[in-house]
Amino acid sequence: MRLIGGLFTHHEDYVALFKFRLSMLLPKATVEVCAESGALGAAWLAEHTESAPPARDTAVVEDAEALAVAATEQSNPRSADLDRKSTAELVDLFASEESYVQAALQAKRAELIAAVDLVAAAVKAGGHLFYTGAGTSGRLGVLDASEIPPTFGAPPELVQGIIAGGTTALHRAVEGAEDQPESGALAIVERGVGEGDVVCGITASGRTPFVLGALARACELGARTILLTCNPSRTRTSWDVEIDLPTGPEIVTGSTRLKAGTATKVVLNILSTCAMVRLGRVRGNAMVDLHISNAKLRDRGVRLVSRELHIGYEEAKKRLEKVGWDVRLALR
């Protein structure tokens, strides 16, 4: 297969991404850039192309069929009459459904342990943790990553969130952003992912093209990979760790910000927090690298120092003031 046109002859990054996308559709194809003018190819096509009915997009149809059978897209029989329930019944139903989250987490205990060990080893060796997702999944990844610097005093680049559609997608939907695997691959390259890093792809259905494209590119760059889904019936892939939480159908059909979102957030809590514990950023159960930036956190820091050193509140406060409110230094 020959690629013709100015984009291909002048932009190597575009060529690499185009080849990556083609490799997913035509894995056995040999692709090269043609240095000849694109006008020649256009003339040849005009001469040889005959009118024909549009071909059936098999890839799109197969993807739609896979999504239709996903656990996250099924109707929940316990909420079939949701619009006829009283407020009390609605509250009771939502509360009772959360039991499925705990059961799903317990069912994947071994996979969670493997994922934690993978992330902890990477960050201890100087690597980074990247979350990538679209919609709710992407927002949860960005949320967890954003909490690490103030909670544990870690540099912001240590845990990063990548969301399809960029920062705009944090507060409103970006149509079609999740459907482009090449965009996921490009995002991985732009963040500088490489060997020693871990990329955790978050997709409730397990089939989001943006996420799968990001994971595939991460593999090519030598990074380790984790796939986090809430769809055990998904088409199987081959990542270093695969966590398929059996949270079951949502109360509102397809609304994965509910049980799937809750379970996903718990898993991200586990991955990032355990990594910080392994880095020594927790003493006992105290955040000794807490970034103190307001009155509430100053009080928390004082109480922490007071408890750990068995000294009075005022004395602990003076110790912290002396070292610029650095908890770790105050504990020495």
Task: Print burial letters for 307-316: b (CB count within 10 Å at least 16), e (below 16).
Answer: ebeeeeeeeb
CA within 13 Å, CB half, 311: 14
Q: Catalytic positions, please?
A: 147, 178
Amino acid letter, 227: L
Distance in angstroms between the alpha carbons of the first and the last residue of the chain:
65
What pTM, to 2 d.p., does this model score? 0.78
Closest CA to 200 of 257, 243, 150: 243
- At 123 the pLDDT is 96
Give the chain's radius of gyration (CA, Å).
25
Three-class SS state of 200: strand
Burial label, 293 (beta-carbon count in 10 A; 0-12, 13-18, 19+): exposed
Dump the DSSP string for 243-261. Answer: EE----S-SSTT-TTTHHH
How far is 129 from 147, CA to CA, in rounded Å? 13
Strand segments, DSSP code E, in 56-179 are 129-133, 159-163
Pairing of strands 198-202, 224-229: parallel
How far is 32 from 195, CA to CA, in rounded Å? 27
Q: Which CATH architecture has domain 71-278?
A: 3-Layer(aba) Sandwich (3.40)
- At 12 the pLDDT is 72
- At 27 the pLDDT is 61
> Could you state, in order of their start, the residue ranges of all structural domains in the chain?
1-47, 71-278, 295-330
- At 211 the pLDDT is 97
- At 65 the pLDDT is 58
Closest CA to 243 of 257, 225, 229: 229
- At 37 the pLDDT is 63
How far is 102 from 229, CA to CA, in rounded Å? 15
Q: pLDDT 10s per residue in the chain (332 long)? A: 677 766 676 667 667 777 776 676 566 677 778 766 666 656 655 666 655 444 444 444 455 555 666 888 999 999 999 999 999 999 999 999 999 999 999 999 999 999 999 999 999 999 999 999 999 999 999 999 999 999 999 999 999 999 999 989 998 888 788 999 999 999 999 999 999 999 999 999 999 999 999 999 999 999 999 999 999 988 888 899 999 999 999 999 999 999 999 999 999 999 999 999 999 999 999 899 988 989 999 999 999 999 999 999 999 999 999 999 999 999 98
Strand segments, DSSP code E, in the chain are 2-3, 32-33, 129-133, 159-163, 198-202, 224-229, 241-244
- At 61 the pLDDT is 45
Task: Print burial letters for 93-105: b (CB count within 10 Å at least 16), e (below 16).
Answer: eeeebeebbeebb
Query: Phi/psi at 165 (nearest 5 deg)?
Result: 95, -5
